[in-house]
């Protein structure tokens, strides 16, 4: 006995389409909605009812999710050649492997491996060249620093030697003023003698 207010379950196919259309139209706002919105909801309802025949449709707000029935079988059938009929109802059918395709894959893998080897060799040669250049720059910098230190040391030693020589010269020149005074005195005496001789 059926409960009041509950309708009997409609049959599959058209009954599900009508139920989906009715549910979507009620969820979209009912009979007094705008004509354009009713047209869009009708298209969505038609699409949703077509999807419900092939699987499960879940709605969360504006997001619609679809899960196909017999998904694994459909994936297997999509990989099979178009001319071959599906093997069995729901059994696992693995398509035949093309030996030519395998040979092409092996050849391409060999080419990729050779190109990777060449790339690694080029990278190795480039890194060696960069390393040699870096070592050369570091050695040049080291030689420059060492020669600069030696030149600075020689300059300091030469400056100390020059200062010492200047001090020696200054000490050696200390009697010169007294000698100059004596020379001036001798010159004056000679001038006086010349004046007396005249």
Residue with tokens 């720059």: 137
CA distance linking residue 14 with residue 53, whole number of Å? 10
Name which residue leads in pLDDT, 169 or 46.
169
Residue-wise pLDDT for 7-30, tens only, equals 334 444 444 444 444 454 444 444
Asked if residue 82 has pLDDT above 50, the reply is yes
pLDDT of residue 162: 95
pLDDT of residue 76: 75
Asked if residue 45 has pLDDT above 50, the reply is yes
Asked if residue 5 has pLDDT above 90, the reply is no
| For the chain, percent of residues with pLDDT exceeding 70 | 66
Residue-wise pLDDT for 97-110, tens only, equals 778 888 889 999 99
30-62: b (≥16 Cβ within 10 Å) or e: eeeeeeeebeebeebbeebbebbeeeebeeeee
pLDDT of residue 63: 81
Asked if residue 58 has pLDDT above 90, the reply is no
**Residues 73, 88 contacting (CB under 8 angstroms):** no
Question: Residues with Cβ < 8 Å from 87, sequence gap 6 or more?
Answer: 93
pLDDT of residue 28: 47
Q: In residues, how long is the chain?
A: 198
Residue-wise pLDDT for 98-146, tens only, equals 788 888 899 999 999 999 999 999 999 999 999 999 999 999 999 999 9
Determine if the pTM surpasses 0.85.
no
């Amino acid at each position: 006995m059926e409960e009041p207010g509950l309708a009997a379950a409609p049959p599959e196919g058209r009954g599900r389409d009508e139920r989906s259309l009715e549910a979507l139209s009620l969820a979209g706002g009912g009979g007094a909605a705008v004509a354009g919105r009713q047209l869009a909801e009708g298209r969505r309802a038609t699409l949703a009812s077509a999807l419900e025949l092939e699987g499960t449709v879940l709605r969360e707000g504006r997001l619609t999710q679809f899960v196909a029935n017999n998904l694994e079988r459909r994936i297997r059938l999509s990989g099979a050649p178009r001319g071959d009929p599906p093997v069995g109802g729901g059994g696992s059918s693995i398509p035949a492997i093309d030996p030519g395709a395998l040979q092409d894959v092996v050849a391409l893998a060999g080419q990729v491996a050779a190109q990777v080897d060449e790339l690694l060799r080029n990278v190795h040669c480039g890194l060696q060249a960069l390393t040699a250049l870096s070592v050369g720059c570091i050695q040049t910098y080291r030689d420059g620093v060492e020669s600069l230190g030696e030149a600075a040391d020689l300059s300091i030693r030469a400056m100390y030697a020059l200062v010492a020589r200047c001090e020696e010269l200054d000490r050696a020149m200390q009697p010169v003023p007294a000698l100059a005074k004596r020379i001036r005195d001798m010159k004056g005496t000679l001038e006086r003698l010349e004046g007396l001789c005249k």
